[in-house]
Amino acid sequence: MFQIPDLALKAFAVIGALVVIRFVLQVLSGIWSWLFAPSFNYKRFQGKWAVVTGASDGLGAGFARNLARRGVNVVLLARTTSKLDAIVKEINDQGKAKAKAIQFDFSSTDAKYWEEKVKQLLEVQPDVLINNVGINVEFPTPFVDVPADFYDKMVQVNINTANRLTRFLLPGMLERKRGAVVFLSSGLGFMPGGLLSVYGATKAYALTLAVNLQQELAGTGVIVQCYAPGLVQSLMSKVPCYCL
């Protein structure tokens, strides 16, 4: 019967131990960078530009107003121009920051459409990106009762939009060694959420991407954060009052 030489067994054991040690160090590094991630310093971005997706209502509009109150200029992206224009006027009238709106259909998969919109964003050299936009089923619904094409649209809006905008705007932030990328997850991103399965999965994706990017970009001057709120008052949630 063939026997593996003792020297070979020892070599395999050493290699195995090194692989395990490397994995453990990677995990610890990720945990460390997540626990001690730099905070969002608004003063660092005063007079600079931030891009907020889904900014016509709910959390997106709240992000835009909060940034503007702290002196950060904002570009608001959403589908409904009339709502965007109202918020832009409100911010500009306050005089603490500038605001502009760009009508954006996040469900579009047309490459030329995206190229045109991103070109407009790059003109202001944004240092902050708030990946807020998202869609959900109208009411909690069994997985098999939702049309498959709506799931495709949800993945496009909730995942692909954040991927694309982050990919297009991040190089400028890295070049300037200054930036912040924020992802909107949800409580459903890390806990069971039956009848909202795909929505929860898209929010888990946002959380995982944020944690991974935060580790990857450590030391570059670009911070990455992820917010995972519970129920909030918005047109999408249909919640009549704020709930934590």
Residues catalogued as catalytic: 199
Strand partners, 52: 76, 130
Q: How far is CA 51 from CA 93, 104, 124, in A?
A: 19, 12, 10
Closest by CA position to 127, among listed 64, 48, 61? 48
Closest by CA position to 144, among listed 98, 198, 183, 192? 198
Q: Which amino acid is at 131?
A: N
At 28 the three-state DSSP class reads helix
With tokens 């950060």, the residue in question is 72
Which residues does 173 contact at the CB level (< 8 Å), separation at least 6? 126, 127, 179, 180, 181, 221, 222
With tokens 């919640």, the residue in question is 239
Query: d(Cα 36, Cα 214) in Å, to the nearest integer?
Result: 10
